[in-house]
A and B are shown apart, each in its own frame.
Chain A
Amino acid sequence: MNSMHILLHQPPMCFYRHSSTSILCPPTPLARIWFSLHHDSGRASMGSTRRRVLLVEDVEINRVVVRRLVSELNVMLEEAENGKIAVDFIKQGRTYDLIFMDKEMPVMNGLEATKQLRSLGVTTPIIALSGDCLPCDRDLFIHAGANAFQAKPLSKIELVRILTEYGLSISHA
């Protein structure tokens, strides 16, 4: 188990409410390891060939289309309707092999979510998505920590290219 695996698995705070101490406290390294061993939900695909991708997108139709695009690929897709939900997923200990991050979303937009994910130590590749391909948007996202910027809507060819580029094995399901 490598240190990155341990780092990314942040046990939920409620775990610590049930510990011997009655106050919330940051997880000890031992607690993190215990949590990682016993809580499989949110684990990245260690020993599994099915890669986990997080789609952060507020417009339902866009999620339906991407869901259909990945249905034939060997990829497990999770969805978040806004940036805050995505950040919360990470804080809950979920890990991903790739994140698609929409730009404009309610509650928390993609730029802010990207910044927060990077500040949490998430090194997962983040692909920014936007219907507007303005150079200033691209620069802002890259500066925030995104790895690449892709125009929406996402086609199957582009999706496969991106998944392949970031090392996700695309054998058909």
Chain B
Amino acid sequence: MAATALKEQLNGLVNSMFAEGLLDEQFQQLQMLQDGSNPGFVAEVVTLFCEDSERILTELTKLMDQALVDYSKVDAYVHQLKGSSSSVGAQNVKLACIQFRQFCEENNKEGCVRALNVVKHEYYRLRSKFETMLQLESRIQAYENKQQN
């Protein structure tokens, strides 16, 4: 069945994300919170995470482009991103944020610029896989709805 093949593809993708360190056990906690009464919970949280992350990365880029960097503002944004990535299970993004905060504490501009690039790299890598994951989930849902009808 097509739905079975899609589910296998989805499981394979998610497993590879765990294996690569993109996701940690917190993502499994989110998956466990998804059920019949909340079928779109993971998609909701992932979508929210991506929207929030992109807003934060845009602000961070602006702040780091300033001649005089306001490290307290930078740190506040990185703190937010660290918090949300932790809640979603976005392990590599979270770890990159931890490193970024250390550079903020040191008022190290060069370190912060490098750290921001790492955060962006890890985020966009994760986002791409999340997009594929949500597309697969959506297709599976469509098949299952069709079968029920």
Contacts and interface: CB of A to CB of B under 8 A. Distances in A.
Contacts of A131: 82-83, 86
Contact of B76 (A61, A64, A69, A106): A106
A64 B44 contact: yes
11 contacts: A58-B80, A59-B80, A59-B87, A61-B48, A65-B30, A68-B33, A68-B38, A69-B33, A104-B79, A152-B87, A153-B86
Interface in A129-148: 131
A119 interface: no
A61 B26 contact: no
B49 interface: yes
What 4 pairs between A and B have smallest CB-CB spacing? A59-B83, A61-B84, A153-B87, A62-B87
Interface in A36-69: 58-62, 64-65, 68-69
B33 A152 contact: no
Interface in A99-120: 104, 106
A153 B48 contact: no
A155 interface: yes
Contacts of A64: 44-45, 48
Main secondary structure, interface of B, reads helix
A22 B87 CA distance: 49
Contacts of A60: 48, 52, 84
Given A61-B48, A61-B52, 9 more contacts: A58-B80, A61-B49, A62-B87, A65-B33, A65-B87, A106-B76, A131-B82, A153-B26, A155-B29
Contacts of B82: 131
Nearest to A151: B86
A68 B48 CA distance: 14
A161 interface: no
A152 B84 CA distance: 11
A78 B43 CA distance: 23
Contacts of A106: 76
B87 A156 contact: no
Given A61-B49, A61-B52, A152 B83 contact: yes
A59 B26 CA distance: 16
Among B38, B48, B80, which residue has the most Cβ atoms of chain A within 10 A?
B80
A62 B29 contact: no
